Structure 1
Amino acid sequence: MRNTVPTLNEQLSQLKVIPVIAIENADDAVPLGKALVENGMNCAEVTYRTACASQAIRNMREAFPDMLIGAGTILTPEQVDDAIDSGVDFIVSPGFNPKVVQYCLDKNIPIIPGVNSPSLVEQAMEMGLKTVKFFPAEPSGGIPMLKALTAVYPVSFMPTGGVSLSNVDQYLAIPAVLACGGTWMLPPKMIAAGQWEEIGRLVKEAVAHVA
């Protein structure tokens, strides 16, 4: 039997929750990655909201070569190049920037751009994308808005922004939702304080909740 590598969509749908992380200190990347991996969440979206994002990704990639790592909050082609050089598997952007999307397509790196309206979904589809991020999910209308979009468009969604333990089940119940991006299991204060055991507990709780 031939072994096949799971597609990004298949991996996301298996994971169900993608932890979205803003790392202020690159030295925290490995212990944070350890807390994720050892508690059943073998993935991370490291956002480019901090100056050390690329180094954090490099550290995480070196320590966990099989981890699914994305670069989030990507706004420019230069950041795409930096993220690829750092070892990411996919790119996530907060909005739909055709220039950045085309650059990723040309580089053959998967991109999940943010959309929150019919027009933006159609623009993404026009460029051949089949997976988009619904962002910011809750401020953009939450479950009702997403259901309205999924009723019309044959694409998959990754809701992010306001998703929590209290509503993640409702999002994941929508057939077109592959996974949800979330930050609730990774409180910034806990990361800064190095509370890895407590973070691990929250991660384990999230994994068990969506299992």
Structure 2
Amino acid sequence: MKKLRLIQQIQDAGVVAVLRGDSPEEVIRMAEKAIEGGIKVIEVTMTVPFANEAITALAKKYTSSDPEADNYAIIGAGTVLDSETARITILAGAEFVVSPGFDRDTIMLCNRYRVPVMPGAVTVHDIVASLELGVDVVKLFPGNLYSPSVIPSLKGPLPQANIMPTGGVNLDNLHEWIQAGAFAVGIGSDLTKDALKTGNYDLIADKADAYMKAFDKATAFKKAKARG
């Protein structure tokens, strides 16, 4: 089923680029450079003016159906606060929906259309409430409120929870988050700030490449450790 396939693909990809900007054109350019650098999961936030234009343009250019395709990428929507916005982004082409907090109606709508939804969670109550509504992945947000050790602490009583930290994840601590058991990680301003400061968008591709190399290294280390 497509929903389950997408969830597995997001986990395999490991890194989600969370993109904010001043226009659809700017975010499209950011996304193209992030994908060029190897990050294949793009989250266009709804704080971007006319964000749906960026989602539609990217959804038309890239496909999630074939990971081997040159134009492979998964395009989703972030900062979705309500079910009305969720439906609009799905119609625009978003293949997954991310929220900064827990909203029951948003989760139910995404479930209705079999679209992966990742609500934000700060407390155990948030995570349990999400699981009860059939959520497959919760977004630990803001991640910089915690250290990576929070994941095994949460997964002690909730081993079935898939947790994706977003906010505060960087090249220095990505390894720790993966070792701690993160389902995937979300990367925000650290990916784009240098490009926005200098106007050199190639820096996004360079930073994306660095993130993917760090993720691959962390994943390989974790597998080797598991094998003993």
TM-score by length of 2: 0.83
Cα shift at 1:126: 1.1
SS at match of 1:186: helix
User: Residue in 1 aligned with 2:119?
Assistant: 113
CA distance in structure 2 between the aligned counterparts of 1:209 and 1:98, rounded to whole angstroms: 35
Cα shift at 1:82: 1.3
User: Residue in 2 aligned with 1:99?
Assistant: 105
* AA partner of residue 181 (structure 1): G
Cα shift at 1:48: 0.7
Structure 2, gaps ≥5 residues long:
64-71, 217-228
Is contact 2:87-2:109 (8 Å) kept?
no
User: Residue in 2 aligned with 1:163?
Assistant: 169
SS at match of 2:208: helix
Is contact 2:138-2:161 (8 Å) kept?
yes
CA distance in structure 1 between the aligned counterparts of 2:28 and 2:144, rounded to whole angstroms: 31
Deviates more, 1:190-199 or 1:177-186: 190-199
User: Residue in 2 aligned with 1:148?
Assistant: 153
SS at match of 2:152: helix
Cα shift at 1:146: 2.4
* AA partner of residue 198 (structure 1): L
Aligned residues: 205
* AA partner of residue 94 (structure 1): P
Could you list the per-position Cα deviations for residues 8-53 of structure 1 after superposition, in whole angstroms to 9, with x for gaps in the alignment? 2321222111110013121224432321222211221111112221
Structure 1 residues 1-211: aligned runs within 5 Å = 7-65=5-63, 66-139=72-145, 141-153=146-158, 154-175=160-181, 177-183=182-188, 184-187=190-193, 190-191=195-196, 194-211=199-216
SS at match of 2:134: coil
Structure 1, gaps ≥5 residues long:
none
User: Residue in 1 aligned with 2:67?
Assistant: none
CA distance in structure 2 between the aligned counterparts of 1:84 and 1:197, rounded to whole angstroms: 29
Cα shift at 1:69: 1.0
| Root mean square deviation, CA, Å | 2.0
Cα shift at 1:165: 1.0
| Percent of aligned positions that are identical | 24
* AA partner of residue 80 (structure 1): A
SS at match of 2:102: coil
Is contact 2:15-2:184 (8 Å) kept?
yes
CA distance in structure 2 between the aligned counterparts of 1:11 and 1:31, rounded to whole angstroms: 23
CA distance in structure 2 between the aligned counterparts of 1:180 and 1:51, rounded to whole angstroms: 25
- Cα 1:78–1:193 change in 2 (3 A) is farther
TM-score by length of 1: 0.89
SS at match of 2:165: coil
- Cα 1:138–1:192 change in 2 (3 A) is closer
More helix by share: 2
